[in-house]
Every structure is written in C-alpha cells, then in structure tokens.
Structure 1
Amino acid sequence: MTKDFLDIAQAALTERLKGENFEKSVSLRIKEIGNLIIKGDTAEISDDRADCAIIADQPTFEKILAGQLNPMKAAMFGKLKIAGDAKTALKFGNLFG
C-alpha cells in the first residue's frame, strides 16, 4: 500500500491546493513510505529537499487528509514533527482548517 498511499495523498493534496500558491516548498515525509513535495499549487512524489519538512506516519497523514485530525493538534501531541520554516508549516496546516 506504500505507493498507493502516495498516489492517494498526491491526488487529495492536488485538490486542496487549487487556488493556493506556496512560495516556499513543503516536504511531507511519510515514515517508511515516501515523500511528497508541495510547491506553488502542485503536489509531487519526490525526495527533493524543501524549505519545511512535515514528518509523520501514514495513519496520522490519513487522518489529516480525511479532515479527522488538525495538523496543529497533531504537532502539539507529538504525532507530527516539523523541521525547517515553521511559517510555511502553518500555511500548510491552514489547508486543513
């Protein structure tokens, strides 16, 4: 399910990114699965470096994408880690309410 989840997450993020314009890049690092890079209004499967990295396991990202878990709460409870530019991470979190 690893590659399948990346494809599902990429499609969900692409939908949420319509009308957005991230000036900086965000890497979503899904533990033991892979990475997605968000830049501008696109999400791509990529291992490229980004201005900000958001790191969590697949179940946490599944809940965030489904709207069942707020990214800020996930970070507060240690389910999600942020490395790099925190302002960019906040902008990403705003996509999910």
Structure 2
Amino acid sequence: MSDFLALAKDALVTRLTNETFEKSVSLRIKDIGNILISGSDAQISDAQADCAIFSSQDTLTQILEGTLNPMKAVMFGKLKVKGDAATAMKFGNLFG
C-alpha cells in the first residue's frame, strides 16, 4: 500500500465524521489504488461500488487540500464518474 493511499483514506475518514453514504463510492486513483467509501467509513479496497470516481494523485491532492473543487474537476475532465451520479454529487459535497 502506498503512503499516499493511506493518507488519502485517513483524510476521507475525517471528512466522513458526520456523513453517511447509503450507497458506496469507489475512488480509483490512477497507478496508486482504490478507496471504498461506504456508510461513514473509507477503506482501501478493490471492491465494486455503486459509483466509481477516477482521479490522478495530483487531482485528488488538490481536492483534499481545498485548492480544487470536485465539481469543477469533473467539468474540466480531471475527475471521471461512472455509475450513480447522485452518489458522486454527495461525495463532492464532502469538500465544500
């Protein structure tokens, strides 16, 4: 497991403190690994999810640091979404 993947997972767990996902999201970070968000937890996992969000390490870093809005990242093609769009929107709401 990469250090970045562990740090990203921990950052997501912190943001999920007051949130609960009824459906699951797989955050797929290119050449790094996958994080599964389900309920109010995030885990490093390759499991299937209701929604998959594809990102580079650089893009996710900018989102976690608050320098890039997830919705803008989708509009500019830096994030790609497959599956349930409403779940992807809820994921985006974790960041602003």
- Tell me the TM-score range normalised by the shorter chain: over 0.9
The answer for the alignment partner of 1:68 in structure 2 is: 67
What is the aligned-residue identity percentage? Answer: 65
Give the ranges of 4+ consecutive aligned residues of structure 1 lying more than 6 Å apart after TM superposition.
Answer: none
Q: Distance in 2 between matches of 1:94 and 1:17?
A: 11
Q: CA deviation at 1:19?
A: 1.4
**How many residue pairs end up in the alignment?**
96
The answer for the alignment partner of 1:26 in structure 2 is: 25
For structure 2, list consecutive stretches of 5 or more residues without a partner in the other structure. Answer: none
For structure 1, list consecutive stretches of 5 or more residues without a partner in the other structure. Answer: none
Q: CA RMSD in A?
A: 0.8
Structure 2 counterparts to residues 17-96 of structure 1, below 5 A: 17-96=16-95
TM-score by length of 1: 0.97
TM-score by length of 2: 0.98
Partner letter of residue 30 of structure 2?
A: K
Secondary structure at 2:2 match in 1: helix
